[in-house]
């Protein structure tokens, strides 16, 4: 039995169409599985990881927080890896990620996540160190020794007036010369006064010399 040539040609056409369709399906599924947009949001930052994109086309990414740009539109190739710091906030923020893939809208992303408020940590009190008392040493004031004056021996004039000579009863009477018998006594007293005054003057000079 002979199969007509038209039947062979029809079968070949169907087989070729099946191969092309299968190849297209594989090529289409490949890029779809390759695009990997990964991102997470904490109370303080946004971690962005976009990998396995087509670097032969232009890809774009934008991140906004409550409608304000946190990451203005940026172009990337195979991927992008960024950590973005969120502003301080006392209420939850809405973070939006927009990825535009240059090789097809099916690979683009438009997602939103909430950034919670960070829990306040109790303040840690650092104990204040107690100052160590410092010993204050008294200032040593030099003492000036006051010289003690040396004792000045009191010198008493030891000179005594010589006793008036008493005439011996056995001696002969002297002739009266007209002078009184009290003349020797007065002369002896005068001599005694002169000697006493000289002793006093000598003692005063000695004391002054010792003081200077």
**23: helix, coil or strand?**
helix
| Residue 84 dihedral angles phi and psi, to the nearest 5° | -110, 135
Instruction: Say how many CA atoms lie within 13 Å of 146 toward its Cβ.
Output: 2
- The pLDDT tens digits of the residues spanning 25-37 come to 434 444 444 788 9
Q: Which of 97, 95, 98 is nearest to 65 (CA)?
A: 95
Mean pLDDT of the 161-190 span: 57
pLDDT of residue 21: 47
From residue 28, how far is each of 17, 32, 37, 46, 51 by CA, in Å? 16, 7, 18, 31, 18
pLDDT for 88-138, tens place per residue? 999 999 999 999 999 999 999 999 999 999 987 666 666 666 767 666 665
């Amino acid at each position: 039995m002979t199969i007509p040539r038209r039947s062979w040609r029809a079968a070949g056409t169907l087989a070729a169409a099946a191969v092309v369709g299968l190849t297209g399906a594989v090529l289409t599924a490949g890029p779809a599985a390759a695009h990997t947009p990964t991102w997470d949001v904490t109370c303080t930052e946004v971690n962005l990881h976009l990998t396995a994109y087509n670097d032969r086309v232009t890809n774009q990414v934008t991140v906004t927080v409550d409608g304000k740009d946190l990451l203005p539109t940026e172009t990337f190739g195979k991927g992008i890896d960024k950590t973005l710091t969120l502003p301080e906030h006392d209420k939850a923020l809405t973070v939006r990620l927009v990825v535009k893939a240059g090789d097809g809208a099916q690979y683009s992303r438009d997602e939103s996540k909430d950034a919670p408020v960070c829990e306040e940590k109790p303040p840690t009190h650092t104990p204040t160190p107690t100052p160590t008392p410092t010993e204050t040493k008294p200032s040593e004031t030099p003492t000036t020794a006051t010289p003690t004056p040396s004792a000045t021996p009191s010198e008493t004039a030891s000179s005594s007036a010589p006793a008036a000579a008493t005439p011996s009863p056995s001696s002969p009477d002297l002739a009266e010369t007209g002078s009184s018998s009290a003349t020797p006594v007065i002369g002896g007293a005068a001599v005694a006064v002169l000697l006493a005054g000289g002793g006093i003057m000598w003692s005063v000079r000695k004391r002054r010399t010792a003081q200077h």
